[in-house]
Chain A
Amino acid sequence: MNLNLVYHFGNFILWQKQIYKRPENNRMYYKETIRQMYDIGVGSLPIVFLISIFIGAVTSVQFYYQMSGTMIPMYYIGYIVRDMTIIELAPTITCLVLAGKVGSNMAAELGGMRQKEHIDAMEIMGVNTSAYLIMPKVIAALLMIPVLVCASALIGILGAYLASVPTGLFTSADFIKGVRSFFVPYNVFMMLVKAFVFAYILTSVSCYQGYFVKGGSIELGEASTRAVVYSNILILLADYVIALVLTA
């Protein structure tokens, strides 16, 4: 089991060298990157919107429940919701969800291509399949996932507003005052660092699982599951490490 882990880790590292090679044809890579950007960005917007709005809503309601009746001013809820969303909830929850949606999709797509001999066909044509099939996905994810995370943060704050102000938990003035208080731009930097790192983890791990799949449809299903599980574990681990490093 441990040897297997070491083997896959080594194979994954060696594989990275194949991915970032000079493209055979820049235009083909560009076209593929745009296609992937559309799939990842536009394709994931509805789920990101839905999750973010509920995250914001639940956070504000829960904090109201915990803070009502205390000496803490109500406008602090806006401040806490904003920082929690920016620092933790938007990048982490969004990327965990995207690992399920985008990651499993990539693993299944590449695994299907491997099983239908599409990858072999490209290899025989002389295409560097590691580069052509993976690099555009990674670049597209690195460009689009931070945008989705930013959108998630904004939508989350909007969700918090919609769940608390119209329902009379606290006033609009309180919420807006909280959202505008104690703003630290460094937190946005932290959010973007997390978004980039998580984007890289979820695409490269998922692509690895799909690209090297062996066997039939059962193995493809397992690879797709592994893509999500391993991405999630590594995202949570990276989240902890980033929190330690950037807040030290």
Chain B
Amino acid sequence: MIRAENIFKRFGQQEVLKGITTTFEAGKTNLVIGKSGSGKTVLLKVLVGLFKPEKGRVLFGDTDMVTADKDTMRRLRMEVGMLFQGNALFDSMTIEENVRFPLDMFTHQTLKEKTDRVNYCLERVSLEGVNKKFPSEISGGMQKRVGIARAIVLNPKYLFCDEPNSGLDPKTSITIDDLISGITKDNNITTVINTHDMNSVMEIGENIILLEKGELAWQGHKNEVLHDHNKIMHDFIFASPFLQKLIDQVQHKI
């Protein structure tokens, strides 16, 4: 479980996060949603310790990431996996080397043990036979899956995904969502996903956190989305004219 308490973050004069307090639960897919510029990515970077907030605490269990010294933070980060929006795969390394990198750096396993683990993780994300390829030789969806494989190779307790579906077609997006959701359940990971994708919200949103202008505007389960009348949430989730028409038609039939 991760708990963010009263997080304030500003860049110059611009206050980006204004007192966010929320809990990201273990074994659940926690989705952070909101308009562009609402502070989602900043919140994610504060959670993983890439940005230091002006005020507030980020508790990973009992450890406060904000006040932790560098060694504690490094230890804690070994329990964290992250999938970046641009994948952040190392171009000069093969897929196998990319996924193996955390194992090479932090474990003293034999090459065989590491290769077995890499193969297991690649199989887990349904990627086989790409070990020797370079990131530039595979598709965007496959790169995302490699990113996920690398993020889970050290068996993390916490998984962060920044816009995992950006640039992917709807079908591949669903595959990625299912994958992340499955890994979360199987390993009881605390997963935080930053997304714009409404399919993800309705499919895997077990704990949805809506940000609006740096503040927490709404929080709830995907099942509550259709019944709750929070205006900000409705305006955001049903912003698409297609969805709006669909809802109008359903209501008309009822």
Q: Show the binding face of A for B, using Cβ within 8 Å.
A: 24-25, 27-28, 116-118, 120-121, 123-128, 132
Contacts and interface: CB of A to CB of B under 8 A. Distances in A.
Contacts of A116: 86, 88, 91
Given A117-B88, A118-B90, A124 B80 contact: yes
A120 B160 CA distance: 13
A116 B136 CA distance: 14
Contacts of B78: 125-126
3 smallest beta-carbon distances between A and B, as pairs: A126-B77, A121-B88, A117-B88
Interface size on B, as a range, is 20 to 34
A120 B101 contact: no
Contacts of B102: 125
Contacts of B91: 116
Contacts of B101: 125
A25 B74 CA distance: 14
A132 B90 CA distance: 14
A28 B108 CA distance: 11
Contacts of B88: 116-118, 120-121
Prevailing SS type, chain B contact patch: mixed
Contact of A124 (B48, B75, B90, B104): B48
B106 A124 contact: no
Contact of B84 (A27, A121, A127): A121
Given A124-B77, A124-B81, A124-B82, 7 more contacts: A25-B106, A28-B104, A117-B85, A121-B84, A123-B50, A124-B48, A125-B101
A24 B86 contact: no
A123 B77 contact: yes
Contacts of A28: 104-105
Contacts of A132: 105
A124 B102 CA distance: 10
Interface in B24-76: 48-50, 74-76
22 contacts: A24-B105, A28-B104, A116-B91, A117-B85, A120-B84, A120-B88, A121-B82, A121-B88, A123-B77, A124-B48, A124-B49, A124-B50, A124-B81, A124-B160, A125-B77, A125-B101, A125-B105, A126-B76, A126-B77, A127-B105, A128-B74, A132-B105
A128 B85 CA distance: 22
Contacts of A117: 84-86, 88
B82 A24 contact: no
A118 B84 CA distance: 9
Interface centre among A25, A116, A125, A132 (most CB of B within 10 A): A125
